[in-house]
Every structure is written in structure tokens, then in C-alpha cells.
Amino acid sequence: MRFKMLLVATLAVCSAICMAPQTLNAQQTMNNDAVIKLVKAGLSEDLIISTINSQPGAYDTTTDGLIALKKAGVSDKVVGAIVTKSVAPVAAPVERVANQGEGAQPAAVSDPNDPNVPHDPGIYMYTKGANGMELTMLELSVYSQGKTGGFLASAMTYGIAKVKMKAVVQGSHSSVHTSDSGIVFYFYFEDSGKSFGGATTPNIYTLLKFDEKGNTREVQTGSMNAFGTSTGTDNAASSGFTYTKVKPGIYKVIPAGVLVPGEYCFMPPGGQAGAAAASQMFAFGITAK
């Protein structure tokens, strides 16, 4: 009888060992090519984004990598999910209280709506919600750079008149909106000094209001003529802000005035004429109450 029990136990252990590689391989590492295959297979945006968020990934988020994704038909929302996944730190496992035994309770989870505690790197808006003040991460959008106005005047003046350069985002509205006109923002950077959007403090960002054009959102980023290229956003679209350092890696940002209803973004360095053909910005919208 004992021999039988020992034999069954041995077979069970062997079976578990044989199955282990299959279990380890069940969760594949996602990359740009895998996402493109899912898009071409006709899977929905929501399903692809869910897959990106749930699977480990090794993505190419360089400018060339993002351009290749766009050319392959990957939507802005899916590209945004890829970039967000690439910059988000891996959550550390919850550890049991030392010397408390197996029955010990894990430490309490920090309040996700407390702006003074660390969060995943990104820009968050802090607004009034149904259950009080809430933190919501802004949408990471990919924009294309192009010449969008002034061609006739430039031709008539032999290149002296300036041609406007604009950043163009597909879609008429951001997926992140609020009707709270007293909006405040928080920028979270990693303690290790790593940045998102090309900066480690808010002072290099520009807060801009989009010009809504049908199914796109546009904002001027520079101009060019026969004498050269100049960078800089349209002053009429720019909304200033002030910021204070709450603690290492956390900054509180307050717009200089009330933000009227419309579409907005925080543009990082590199959003300028002559820059690469594709880059990133953090978009949101203000709706009327």
C-alpha cells in the first residue's frame, strides 16, 4: 500500500515537472510585430490593449518604431498603450510583515487618488469625481508633424512669407475629459531620474489648446520660409502654468487661468518644426458643465 502511494506521488511530481515549460511559455512576450499581427487579424482595439497590458512586453518605442506601427495601421490608442506599458515600472510584489509568520496581513495599499504618494510615471489630472477628488492619467497621443498653411502666400512672395508647421492628432476628442474648471495636474517621474516625454521636470513642457478641425486636433509648433525654420508654439494657443515640487519625482502643476471648454495637451520637448515625423503629447479635454 505504501509502495503504491509512493509511486503515485512520484508520478505526480514528474508530471508537474514535465508540464512546467508549457506553463512558463503560456505567457508570451509581446513586441511591435506581435501587435501588428493582432491588428491585421482584425482584433478590436480594446482586446489588443488588454493583451498589451496583461502580457510582458519588449517594444520598440523609438521614433522609427512608432512610425512603423502607424504605417502598419496601428491606431493611436494602441500605440499609446504600448508606450505607457514601456515606461510603467513593474509593480513590486507585496511582502509579508517580517517575523509575523504566514498568517500576517500585507501592508495596506496606498490610496490611488492620493497625489502625494508615488504613481506610475506620467501626467495626471486631479479633479472632482463622483466619490471625491480623483487622479486620472492623461492620454498619451502620437502626433504627426506637417506643413499646414501659408503655401499660397509663400509662393506669392517667393518664399518670404512663412509656412506654418503644425502637430496633428487624429480624432476630434481625447478619451480623458473633465468638467472641473479648477483642474490641477501632477507630474510623476521615477526616482531613478528616468523621464517620460523627454524631460524630468514640468518646466520644459508647454500647455496648449488644440484647434479642432473635424476629425483631427491641431496646434502650431513653428514656421518656415526661404530664410530658415523657426520653432515655437502659437501664443494664442498657449496656456501658462506654475508648478511646485511636492517631493522628489512629484510636481504639482496649476494652470495660470481657468481652462475654457476645449481640447488641450501638454507638449514635451521636441514638439517643434523640423523635429521627427512622429512624437508624443499628453492630451485631455475640458467639457462644459
Tens of pLDDT, residue by residue over 207-246, are 999 988 888 888 877 554 443 444 445 556 678 899 999 9
H helix intervals, the chain: 2-25, 32-40, 45-54, 63-71, 76-87, 151-156
Domain boundaries, the chain: 27-87, 122-286
Q: Which residue has the cell 508520478?
A: 11
The overall average pLDDT reported for the chain is 73
Average pLDDT over residues 21-41: 74
Torsion angle, alpha carbons of 269, 275, 279, 285, to 10: 60
Give me the pLDDT at residue 244, please: 95
Comparing 81 with 230, the larger pLDDT belongs to 81
- The least confident of 11-25, 140-154, 165-179, 228-242 is 11-25
Give me the pLDDT at residue 166, please: 81
pLDDT tops 80 at residue 96 = no
Phi and psi at residue 238, to the nearest 5°: -85, 135
b or e along 219-256 (b: 16 or more beta carbons within 10 Å of the residue's beta carbon)?
bbbbbbbeeeeeeebbeebbeebebeeeeebbbbbebe
pLDDT tops 60 at residue 105 = no
Q: How many CA atoms within 13 Å lie on the side-chain side of 281? A: 29
Comparing 12 with 53, the larger pLDDT belongs to 53
> How do residues 122-155 score in pLDDT, each as one tens digit?
899 999 887 889 999 998 888 876 555 444 444 4
pLDDT tops 50 at residue 26 = no
Q: Which residue has the cell 515549460?
A: 21
Length of the chain: 289
Phi and psi at residue 246, to the nearest 5°: -75, -45
pLDDT category of residue 196 using cuts at 50, 70 and 90: low
> How do residues 42-56 score in pLDDT, each as one tens digit?
989 888 888 888 888
Give me the pLDDT at residue 132, please: 86
Closest CA to 177 of 242, 131, 129, 219: 129
CA–CA dist 124, 188 (Å, integer): 8
> How do residues 60-73 score in pLDDT, each as one tens digit?
888 788 888 889 99
